[in-house]
Amino acid sequence: MQYNHLSSSTIFAGQELSLTSPQSVNKQSSAYTVKSGDSLSLIAKKYHTTTAELKSANHLASDLIFVGQVLEIPNKTVDQAPDTMASSREYTVKSGDSLSVIAKVYRTTVEDIKTVNHLTSDLIKVGQVLKIPNASSSGHQPITSQTPKSYTVKSGDSLSVIAKIYGLTVTQLKAYNQLSGDTIYVGQVLKLTSDGPSVSEPKAPKAASSFNADALITEAKKYIGVPYVWGGSTPSGFDCSGFLNYVYTKLGISVPRTVAAFWAAGTSVSIPQKGDIVYFNTTGGPSHAGIYIGGNQFIHAGTSTGVTISDMNNSYWKPRYLGAKSVR
């Protein structure tokens, strides 16, 4: 425990342990085999290095990696194993929670929460007790004291996430910022107190003057097979809203970053047309979305499949379908 800086006897499968004193080990490189869902940025974070150093050590010209590829991890001492998750605390899932929300609140990652709780999917249920990895003695509690007066929205944020982090309610956030809906945008400044800086209602996303659904679908299909990466918004890895944002932006259409923001900003349609966005309830409310391509099929970034085409009538997606919206 001393050699590995462990505060308890908890260890997990795949964890690397030093069998010698840290003072007796020199820096060396080690190998890592790429797994489904990995990206250079995730691996770099896990091993306390950088994407640039990983690319340099492995003579990579781009960020693209593939499952089964063996990467050299630079400048890693034996005692510097990936985060041990040795200290953890428990959290009881509440209505409206998702793994991404909980991870953001407690400053950890979805993958770490899934690993320490032996979860094979992102599905959680109200009342479920989760272990929160990498929790310090302070417990990484949501920020409730010395709350700043404003917050600048970042990629992957939503009102519910921001509210949880700062110990507020979504209703309070909307009241402070005079918001009529749940739509927020990257770069938007939100008031966190009643006397915070003045902000204005965000403008709805603007579509390109000429919308070409076939061109949109052709662009989307270019990325079939790209792995799912939580928070990913590039061809090296996408989450579902990151994929939508990337593809629509490539066609010159300005859209939000999160599924909730897409849902709030779009115009409801009773029957989806090519290029519309179809929404599904996987963890509570609109939590997954894809681009409708016709024939009851949609293209999306699935957590277990990466970018793929699915049938809306299959046994998983049909009961979870919420509706369709247009951003034309």
DSSP, collapsed to helix, strand or coil, labels residue 175 as: helix
b/e 124-133 (16+ beta carbons within 10 angstroms → b):
beeeeebbbb
List % helix, strand, coil for the chain (3-state, nearest 5). 25, 20, 55
Residue 324 to residue 277: CA distance in whole angstroms: 6
Residue 85 to residue 9: CA distance in whole angstroms: 11
Residue 119 to residue 324: CA distance in whole angstroms: 30
Q: How far is CA 236 from CA 40, 73, 177, 314, in A?
A: 8, 19, 35, 28
Q: Which amino acid is at 254?
A: S
Backbone dihedral region of 45: left (phi > 0), alpha (psi from -120 to 50 degrees) or beta? alpha
Beta strands, E only, 177-316: 189-191, 233-234, 237-238, 267-269, 277-280, 288-294, 297-302, 306-311
Question: Tokens 């247009």 identify what position?
Answer: 326
User: 288 an active-site residue?
Assistant: yes
Cα 37–12–135 angle (5° rounding)?
A: 85
Residue 68 to residue 192: CA distance in whole angstroms: 45
Catalytic residues: 240, 288, 300
